[in-house]
Structure 1
Amino acid sequence: MVSLTNLKDWYKGDTTTLLIALLTISIITWYLYLYFFKSKTQNLPPGPPGFPIFGNLLSLDPELHTYFAGLAQAHGPIYKLWLGSKLGIVLTSPSTARQVLKDHDTVFANRDVPAAGRAATYGGNDIVWTPYGPQWRMLRKICVVKMLSNTTLDSVYELRRGEVRKTVGYIHDRVGSTVNVGEQVFLTVLNVITNMMWGAGVEGEDDWMIGERLKKEEDGKENNGSRDFLQFLLNLKEEGDSKTPFTNTHVKALLMDMVVGGSDTSSNTIEFVMAEMMNKPEVMRKVQEELETVVGKDNLVEESHIHKLTYLHAVMKETLRLHPALPLLVPHCPSETTNIGGYTIPEGSRVFINVWAIHRDPYVWENPLEFDPYKVLGW
């Protein structure tokens, strides 16, 4: 005879099995709907098959730009990936990139804010992640028209000059010794940026924490005539428009943008420039000859010389072609469903533009993998 306890155990076990089975069937059904029905009814781009729940996440490679370029060989210049339940669209041709960045720029102006980006920028209140609208236009105006104007940049010229001179002296003192170029360039760029931002280098950041400076400003204890960007932003905050207020959160988020966006990208580019010139000694010789002609052997390079260094400009641009600072840019997020390259791009999808692949497109560039500054000069 079956006891009541055994009957309850059987019922609980059977119920658990049934729930797991129903959940599995539901997940598979939802995946099949997304992958087959939705793709066909919305005319989504082609793409590689994925797994239920995970989509294509399990097959992603750490070097996303090279992995995406390989997928483009099989699926074409525009294709889709399922990042879990999130639809990703990858563009790898100049024509589709132009449609997103120029023809439909307003539709694709928004970004799909990741959790890490939201945390690092005080809730996404910076110029990178803020949705397109009055607040974004206000932040852009502050950055382009005020923070990065010639007048503002000229006011902190001596700060930049001083840090660069320190680095030149550091390297000169170690002639004949090994120097970690990447590390030194990164520290120099970071010190330049932090000096411009709040008047102190990396070694002094503990004494100049942004939050502490803001608190002193609010208490009326900090107004010492500083000419750094933090003081500039604090002054703007006091003069702000009531319709689109500029808050302390915006101040901190913008400063974070400048530090994060300017340090790694600039130092990586300079490191790649040095690597490419070391691989091509003839390019380095031409850069040296131009510097001797424009600047002179006994003089130090000043910012006023830069616009005259045509070949060095070409070297920098060719480096950015082969080694873009952000190979996939910052992913875009369309605010409405639109058509790109003959395919439907749904609202809210995550759009990647593989500029690394576009810059190496053999249909655009002759010998695309060869480092040649004359490509940029058009010779």
Structure 2
Amino acid sequence: MVAAALLLLFFVKKNKSQGQLPPGPATLPFIGNMHQVILSKPAVFRWIHRQLKETSTDILCLRLGGTHVIAVTCPEIACEVLRKNDDVLASRPTTFASGSFSYGYKGSILTPHGEQWKKMRRVLTSEVLSPSMEQKFQHVRGEEYHHLLRYINTSLAPNNNTIDVRHVAQHFCGNIIRRLVLGKRYFSDIPASSSAGPGHDELAHVAALFTLLNHLYCFCVSDYLPALQGLDLEGHERVAKNVMAVLNGLHDPVIEERIRERSNNNALDDKKGAQKREPRDFLDVLVYLEDAQGQPLLSLQDIRAQTAEMMYALVDNPSNAVEWAFAEMMNRPEVMQKAIDELDMVVGKDRLVEESDIPQLNYLKSCIREAFRIHPYHPFNPPHVAMADTTLAGYTIPKGSHVILSRIGLGRNPKVWDDPMEFRPERHLNTANVLLSEPGLRFISFSSGRRGCPGISLGTSATMMMFARMLQGFTWMKLPGIDTIDLQESKIGLALAEPLVLRAKPRLAAHLYR
């Protein structure tokens, strides 16, 4: 009896010292809520949001195997995550997919907190995405904005003036990031000046990037029950390997050639004296970085990882936001007309909209903010791993917990937004210069904190210029026989269930498309 009492006292003290976890559904021994996750696949996020609603809470605790997963839908708690507790919640989980996609955690987005992450984060913010580099490559972005307009215009045939907006948006993002990172929009020898559409390699490249994004942090069972890794019960390991085979097959020849070029140039410099080289693209920046001893700062794996990360960081959110904005605006012609009127007033029809016009295009930016708010591509931000016990909203968050911010829980929160599912850009017109970022975390476009997106300026430029050029360059119409665009989401994600296909007609002078 005494032993039993002491044992009971021990567990009571232990549970008391741990504090109270956030509310959540009942768990089973060992597996926690994993059985419910398995039954809710492939749209686990919808089950999690039902749990949040049924529990009437803004912070929910699930237990998946031995890991607590904490979902947050409240801006105040989100600010606790990314500001007050940013230093404690600055790590990332280790999973099969994230390990594969980061070449063994050599990059900056998926790498757990530590020296490697600090090194790559410094490289990204100070060297690759610095204001001076953004200015240096403005002409490259400008060329891609012109290619976008020409491609749409040349795709319009006399008897077929339909445009697949998703295809155009995704491959514009693929083109611009390949130009910035690798210095080429095609992997083959097609000239960069060509206005031809994507070839086989480019189609495979963008498809692989989206497959990667769709399989990253997707509640794979073996991520929470590591003993199951290698069995590939859900096929995710095979998918990850196939994705990496495509990316390596396309990226590696370019990277390896650039490293050989560096070695040859260094040998010449030793003979003739060192010469400062102007980088042609982001890959040059990575390859030619040196440490204090004059040796290459980054290894081959570092370069491969950062190259891949920059590729997939740009393709999803801009293309998804533009497609959804067009879909919503086709059902709200008064919104479309206001956007066109702003473009005509600020820019006119005698020249093309440029990056320098973006600060004045507040209504267009408000349209994109609404698309980010209601229609994010990902339901959750990448997980933040607690490196020590901490608290959120008064609840205990144990060390090792995964904290995920719900993009739809924040952006569609009825406590924050009136009529949250109504596409109403005017709700953002409360400042002289509308920004795509949201400091108050009432929705998430670009995250903040230590793990925040360092490419906000680049992401804003790419998104806004794609949107503005498409609106300025063409009159967009629904297909014959369609009165309303179906805004149904995909069964497995948040993208439109079907790609948006519209009719387009040029609205500018012919010479502007050349």
- The amino acid across from 1:264 in the alignment is D
Distance 1:113 1:357 in 2: 25
Aligned residues of 1:214 and 1:248 also touching (Cα < 8 A): no
**8 Å CA contact retained: 1:65, 1:357:** no
1:179 aligned counterpart, secondary structure: strand
- Larger deviation, residues 50-59 vs 355-364: 50-59
Deviations 1:180-210 (A, max 9, x none): 1101111111011011101111443748734
What does residue 7 of structure 1 align with? Answer: none
> Which structure would you say has the larger Rg?
1
Find the partner of 1:71 among 48, 51, 54: 51
CA 169–214 in structure 1, closer or farther in 2 if over 3 Å, else same: closer
Aligned to 2:35: 58
Farther-moved stretch of structure 1 (222-231 vs 296-305) = 222-231
Aligned to 1:27: none
Give yes or no for contact 1:126–1:253 (8 Å, CA) kept in 2: yes
Distance of aligned partners of 1:285 and 1:136 in 2 relative to their CA distance in 1, 3 Å threshold: same
Q: Which has the higher contact order (CA 8 A, sep 6+)?
A: 2
Alignment of 1:130-149 (within 5 A): 130-149=111-130
- Write the distance in 1 (CA, Å) between the matches of 2:402 and 2:293: 33
* Structure 2: distance between partners of 1:125 and 1:329: 20
TM-score (norm 2): 0.62
1:180 aligns with 2:164: yes
TM-score by length of 1: 0.82
CA distance in 2 between counterparts of 1:348 and 1:214 reads 40
SS at match of 2:376: coil
SS in 1 for 2:416: coil
1:249-268 equivalences under 5 Å are 249-268=301-320
Contact 1:81–1:87, Cα closer than 8 Å, also in 2: yes
Equivalent residues of 1:55, 1:83 under 8 A apart: yes
Residues 188-233 of structure 1: per-residue CA shift (max 9 Å, x gap):
1101101110111144374873442354145426999651110111
Q: Which amino acid aligns with 2:280?
A: R
Whichever structure has more helix as a proportion of its residues is: 1
Partner residue of 2:85 out of 77, 94, 104: 104
CA contact (8 A) 1:69 1:357 kept: yes
Is 2:58 the partner of 1:82? no
Q: Provide the residue aligned with 1:165 in structure 2.
A: 146
Q: SS of the residue aligned with 1:365?
A: coil
Structure 2 counterpart of 1:147, one-letter code: V
> Structure 2 unaligned runs (5+)?
1-11, 189-200, 202-249, 269-276, 432-514
Over aligned residues, Cα RMSD in angstroms?
2.8
The residue number in structure 2 matching 1:320 is: 372
Comparing 200-209 and 88-97, the one that deviates more = 200-209
Q: 1:267 corresponds to which letter in structure 2?
A: S
Aligned to 2:328: 276
Matched, 1:216 2:268: no
Give the C-alpha shift of residue 321 in structure 1: 0.9
**1:178 shift after superposition:** 1.6
Conserved 8 A contact 1:96-1:340: yes
Distance apart, 1:366 and its partner CA = 1.4
Q: 1:100 to 1:320 in 2, by over 3 A?
A: same
In 2, the alpha carbon distance for the partners of 1:350 and 1:106 equals 14
5+ residue gaps in structure 1?
1-35
Equivalent pairs: percent with the same residue?
Answer: 33
Deviations 1:154-192 (A, max 9, x none): 222222222221221121234452211101111111011
Judge conservation of contact 1:92–1:358 (CA < 8 Å) in 2: yes
Partner of 2:443: none
**Take 1:207 and 1:102, find their aligned partners in 2: how far apart are those partners?**
36
Q: Which amino acid aligns with 1:230?
A: L
